[in-house]
Structure 1
Amino acid sequence: MGINLQKGQKISLAKESGTTLSKIIMGLGWDAKKTGGLLKGMFGGSASESIDLDASCILFDDANKVVDTVWFRQLKSRDGSVTHTGDNRTGEGEGDDEQIIVLLDKIPANVKSLVFTVNSFTGQTFDAVENAYCRIVDGNTRNEIARYTLSAQGSHSAQIMAKVYRHNDDWKMHAIGENANGRTFDNLLPQIVVHL
């Protein structure tokens, strides 16, 4: 089990994993909060509403310009170093609901940071979500390196989760955890640039 990150915390991925990392997986998980009660169920209401949270990864260069994006409309970076495993529109089921696989040793030299975001594409706020988290897993051993519990309560519809960035010859992770609003990562770009 990895470490539980606090908002604003920075870690060295190699130090925490105890090995040189070549592949990491950013996992996102959530559940739709159960709503209503027995009466609602008897009269045709649903026990929970479907919520479509979307994980995205934005690749930035030294000048804080967007180099590429990986999200449900583009599941792979043009260079092939970052892959989204596919869109989950409900949050149902155990484990990660969406995953983004990053081949650290294949990231182009001009890419200095990768920012991971989550957006409620269906527009609900995080008040309607529970058990939300993002985590970094060693892609080779499947060991969890770090986990960040997303603040699920709130009237925001998005969150800038974390940044993975180069520092000297090391990859580090910064748990940003900043609430935001917007249905896709595009809406968050002005807020993201502040953290680069």
Structure 2
Amino acid sequence: MAVNLQKGQKISLEKEAGSKLNTVIMGLGWDAAKKSGGFLSGLFGGGEKAIDLDASCLMFDEKGELQDIVYFNHLHSNDGSIQHSGDNRTGAGDGDDEQITVALNRVPDNIKSLVFTVSNYTGQDFSSVENAYCRLLNGENGQEIARYNLSAQGNHTAQIMAKVYRHNGEWKMHAIGENSHGSTPDKIVPRILPHL
């Protein structure tokens, strides 16, 4: 049974998974919010603009210095331990729209924290987004370990979702859930640093 994470909550990934974790997958899903206004708004240019949310993973070392970013424009970490599934520009369809796979056993020793963010490349705020979530899966068996529902209300265009970090030889997860702004992950870095 997956944990529904609350903002600020911390969990041990291995304890929740029930076994040693070698691979985790962060899944991101969303739908465009339904516009109200009916027939006339459709006739007079009320058409919806596609919403392009982007999942990213930022890698920080022990000193809190950014070492690498995996996102739609850089699909593999330089060391090969993290891979992005590729850019989904609409959120159409069921299930995860984007996934980032992390081989925890291959993350270099100098990396202490992996921070997962969502940013809206097309610039709408999150009040235009429905059913947005991120979840962490056991990469070995697809079991959902934890889920975090992203708030669909507010004028933010990005969110710092969660941090996966090393602590006493095991990987833990901290649900951050802090609203931010920025169409690409590099613009969110100043807001991430206090959480490292």
TM-score normalised over the length of structure 2: 0.96
Tell me, in whole angstroms, the C-alpha distance in 2 between the residues paired with 1:135 and 1:40: 38
CA RMSD of aligned residues (A): 1.3
Larger displacement relative to structure 2 (91-100 or 34-43): 34-43
Partner of 2:148: 148
Contact 1:121 1:183 in 2 (8 A): yes
Give the C-alpha shift of residue 36 in structure 1: 3.2
Partner of 2:129: 129
Structure 1 residue runs of 5 or longer lacking an equivalent are: none
Partner of 2:63: 63
TM-score normalised over the length of structure 1: 0.96
Tell me, in whole angstroms, the C-alpha distance in 2 between the residues paired with 1:3 and 1:191: 26
Partner of 2:26: 26
Structure 2 residue runs of 5 or longer lacking an equivalent are: none
Partner of 2:90: 90
Q: Does residue 184 of the first structure (1) align with residue 184 of the second (2)? A: yes
Tell me, in whole angstroms, the C-alpha distance in 2 between the residues paired with 1:128 and 1:151: 11
Contact 1:34 1:47 in 2 (8 A): no
Aligned residues: 196
Secondary structure of the residue that 1:194 maps to in structure 2?
A: helix
Partner of 2:172: 172
Secondary structure of the residue that 2:24 maps to in structure 1?
A: strand
Mapping 1:17-56, distance limit 5 Å: 17-40=17-40, 43=43, 45=45, 48-56=48-56
Partner of 1:116: 116
- Aligned amino acid, residue 138 of structure 1: N
Contact 1:3 1:145 in 2 (8 A): yes
Give the C-alpha shift of residue 127 in structure 1: 0.7
